[in-house]
Amino acid sequence: MKFISTLLLLCFVGILQAQVKEVKIPTNLGKITQAYHYNTQQKNFFFLKSYNQLQGMQMTDSLTVKQSLFTLVPDYFDDTVVAFTAAEENKATMYIVTKKNILTKTFDFEQNITTTAAPFTWDPQEEDSFLHFSHGDKFYALHSRIRNSQIRFLQLNADLKPQKDTMINFTGHNFYLGPHSQVSLNQALQDSVPMTYIEMNQPTDLLKAAAQRKYYIHNDVLYITLDTSNQSTEVLSIDLTTQETTYASYPQPFNKPRLNHPGSNSLLFDNKLVQAYFDKQFITIVLRDEQGEPIKTYQMTKDHADFITGGMVSISNIRGLYKDKYAPIEKRSNFLLRAKNASLYGVIAYPVGDHIVLQFGSGNRTKPFARNFFFDAFINGPRTNKFNPYFKSVVALASTALDQQLNPDFSFTIPSEDKLRILRTKRGFRITSNKYKLVLKINDQHYYGKQESRSKTFDLVPF
């Protein structure tokens, strides 16, 4: 009877999945070059861009177009779209950043107009822009001062009028870049790749977790982690309401100094920091508390494929994201040697019920990091490649689960659903094709967006 009930449940779930249909969004744009989706507090918006036009759409819960607005593409649009806000029900604002300006384009779907605010500017000789994001219905910009260890904290409205403009001082703290170089805060924060957003206490893609500069927002507090040296992981926090700050430095768990740049190796979750490191012999994982003290240390060898406390850990096929083959690490004796030469590596930690899942891996990338990680899962072809964190990547993973006492629980089944891997292996789906524009999740359903040649619709295909 139990078997029959399970079978009926699976059939019912299959029927529900089969009922999710492709959504066709009408558009007059002949060739869509970029697509954006913004969804918050029951507000659902799509933005489509061609070479000379922008189309903004307010959507219903069933993904039909409620209102649509067209406007010419401004000259500055080739720069970075960093955020959206929707402080009013029928308005959405797009924020765009250039080398010395922040600009906006507001779509008023009730009045059927679009407006552009006067740009917010700064002196690039005095400060560098390093982080822009929206939280709730507010937009924030953070700039690092070039000549001192200060951060300029800005909260701007849709008209780019400062609601808050505060100088935050981190003088007296040490920051590093590379193996041994002590640098200014401005140098530690700057990179050709913007900071990567990580949603705390949620599963995240390994390649996002491998970023050296990451930021998190938890309980209205902004956290910035810097893995820019083999000295330590620096964690800065700024309360978005009060601008109160904290600074913490967590020693790296290396057994010996590395000659090459270490890359990223930490992740914040809950009130803990997890760090990971590997060399030719070991994978070492350290859990630290808020004061930086080690709570637990685990070590895995390529010969035994287990943590010190025992049990088996599986390692994914070193050859890539495109296969679901797993093997114990001792069957791949060259894994750690090959992983050590990877261009990036990272660690993931997130709760599942009363367990914590830990994953660690490395990857090679033939393309540089995308300029933007504001959206969790964008796909573009290699020509633009701005929102494509998955193009031609190789990843290997070590996985385990910890119980409430932070001991490995090898009887726990780690959730293995990976919708993006399913998409990458989907028949007929070519990630390098320019017709695929974005991947998104709405109401627990995944879609990918595409426009066929000469089509007058933007299609959302469920998967």
SS3 per-residue string spanning 130-159: EEEEEECCEEEEEEEECCCCEEEEEEECCC
Query: Tens digit of pLDDT for each residue in 81-111?
Result: 888 999 888 999 999 998 889 999 999 999 9
**In the structure, what pLDDT confidence band is assigned to residue 419 with cuts at 50, 70 and 90?**
low
The rounded mean pLDDT for the chain is 76
Is the model more confident about 252 or about 361?
A: 252
Q: What's the mean pLDDT in 2-14? A: 43
Displacement of CA 76 from its chain's centroid (Å): 25
Q: Which of 139, 167, 138 is nearest to 153 (CA)?
A: 167
Confidence at residue 270, expressed as pLDDT on a 0 to 100 scale: 87
Strands 138-145 and 150-156: antiparallel
Residue with tokens 């809950």: 270
Q: What is the pTM of this model?
A: 0.81
**Are the CB atoms for 383 and 437 separated by under 8 Å?**
no
Strands 196-197 and 213-218: parallel
Q: In angstroms, what CA-CA distances link 49 with 20, 181, 234, 290, 457?
A: 26, 43, 38, 44, 13
Q: Evaluate if residue 392 carries a pLDDT over 80.
A: no
Angle, CA 232 vertex, CA 230 and CA 234 arms, to 5°: 130
Q: What are phi and psi of 338, to 5 degrees?
A: -70, -40
Q: What are phi and psi of 321, to 5 degrees?
A: -70, -15
Query: Tens digit of pLDDT for each residue in 294-320?
Result: 998 877 654 433 333 333 333 333 333
114-118, 406-410, 418-422: range with lowest mean pLDDT: 418-422
**Are the CB atoms for 216 and 222 separated by under 8 Å?**
yes
Q: Evaluate if residue 279 carries a pLDDT over 80.
A: no
Helix (H, G, I), strand (E, B) or coil at 14: helix
d(CA 96, CA 85): 12
Confidence at residue 416, expressed as pLDDT on a 0 to 100 scale: 60
d(CA 265, CA 252): 9
**In the structure, what pLDDT confidence band is assigned to residue 266 with cuts at 50, 70 and 90?**
very high
**Are the CB atoms for 206 and 359 separated by under 8 Å?**
yes
d(CA 106, CA 159): 9
**Are the CB atoms for 92 and 85 separated by under 8 Å?**
yes
Confidence at residue 240, expressed as pLDDT on a 0 to 100 scale: 97
